[in-house]
Amino acid sequence: MRRLAGPGASENQGASRGIGHQGTLPSGPVTFRWRYLDEAGAETTGPDETFSDQAEAESWFTEVWPELLDEGVHAVTLLDGAAQVYGPMSLHEQA
């Protein structure tokens, strides 16, 4: 029997073996979410949305980024659980 949690257990136990499907780890599935940054690069508020995969998160972002910019979000970072996938990515058009 494999021990998943307890004294001395790693928080990321199983991750290095490619285990990541729902229900494998006691902390539940890893979710994707966006971190929102203001003009100065400081974290700011934004929609509290979570997604089951990166493609779903990016599809949602493609639809709403103009609204985020209107609400004062100037950049975003994509997170997979606590890990940064990429970013910060500016919402302003490049010249």
Domain residue ranges of the chain, discontinuous segments joined by +: 1-28, 31-90
**Which residues touch 63 (CB under 8 Å, ≥6 apart)?**
none
Which tokens is 39 given? 């003009």
Residue 66's identity, in one-letter code, is P
Q: Which residue has the higher pLDDT, 73 or 30?
A: 73
Neighbours of 80 (CB within 10 A): 17
Whole-model pTM: value is 0.68
Sign of the dihedral through C-alpha 75, 80, 84, 86? negative
Task: Provide the mean pLDDT of the chain.
Answer: 78
Asked if the model's pLDDT at residue 6 lies above 60, the reply is no
Segment 39-57 mean pLDDT? 96
32 close to 54: Cβ distance less than 8 angstroms: yes
- For the chain, first and last CA: distance in Å? 58
